[in-house]
Amino acid sequence: MNIIYSRAATDEELHQILNLQERNLRMVLSTQERQEEGFVTLNHSFEMLKKMNDACAHCIAKHESEVVGYALSMLQDFKNDIPLLAPMFHEIDEVLEEKDLYKNYIAMGQICVDKNFRGHGVFRGLYYYMANQLKDDFDAIITEVDTKNTRSSNAHKAVGFEVLKNYTSNNQLWEVILLKL
């Protein structure tokens, strides 16, 4: 399977990210699919996705001409632009201050791999590519995972993410996790 990793550069790639996102939203998947395959929580608008991409291009995995995976880059500048993520940034800032850890981090806003490409190293490849692309500009990649999304939590830990803390927001228990660059 020939997978090419790159940074999102076109509106077409951004639309493909949104299409993949929509197919994997928690609300459109059955309970069994959510448990076995994982899910994404947030549905981005094209405008916000493009604004984030213009600030720090997202990492994508492509097979032929199709986006089959993505890892969204979210600079700290966006912490107030997506209300659902404001609690995450608050928790990140609090735990980093408390533990005197990396202040120069990037948030991975969401990662998703097309169902037909799971189990082929695309998730690991996206993070490897993202880490290599961003290591000169940031000290860490930080994100959060819904603790009910065990597939995602386990996959993140397998590539080296460490749990910083758990917290509750919007009636969900989240893990704030960090990957040192």
DSSP one-letter string for 26-83:
GGGS-HHHHHHH--B-----HHHHHHHHHHSPPEEEEETTEEEEEEEEE-GGGTTTSG
> What is the distance between the alpha carbons of residues 148 and 120, in angstroms, rounded to a whole number?
23
Q: Using 50, 70 and 90 to split pLDDT, how confident is the model at 41?
A: confident
Question: Residue 1 gets which letter from DSSP?
Answer: -
Give the phi and the psi of residue 171 in degrees, each rounded to 5.
Answer: 60, 25
More confident of the two residues 11 and 98? 11
For all residues of the chain together, what is the average pLDDT?
Answer: 92
Q: Measured on CA atoms in the order 141, 13, 124, 175, is the torsion positive or negative?
A: positive
pLDDT of 37 above 90: no
Q: Compute φ and ψ for 122, nearest 5 degrees.
A: -70, -40
Tens digits of residue pLDDT in 45-99? 999 999 999 999 999 999 999 999 999 999 999 888 888 888 889 999 898 888 8
Indicate the range of 92-96, 126-130, 163-167 predicted with least confidence.
92-96
What pLDDT score was predicted for residue 99?
83
The token pair that represents 112 in the structure block: 């998703």
For residue 144, list its beta bridge partners: 176
What are the domain boundaries of the chain?
3-180
Higher pLDDT, 33 or 54: 54
Sheet holding 140-146, edge to edge: 3-7, 59-63, 66-74, 105-113, 140-146, 172-180, 162-169
Length of the chain, in residues: 181
Mean pLDDT calculated for residue range 5-19: 98
Cα–Cα distance between 147 and 62 in angstroms, integer? 28
- Going by pLDDT thresholds of 50, 70 and 90, the confidence category of residue 101 is confident
CA–CA gap between residue 7 and residue 56 (Å, rounded): 9
Confidence band for 143, pLDDT divided at 50, 70 and 90: very high
Higher-confidence position of 102 and 51 = 51
Task: Note the pTM of the prediction, 2 decimals.
Answer: 0.92
Q: What is the pLDDT of residue 82?
A: 84
Is 14's pLDDT higher than 90? yes
Mean pLDDT over 37-50 rounds to 89
CA distance 66 to 10: 12
CATH 3.40.630.30 fits 3-180, yes or no: yes
pLDDT for position 100: 81
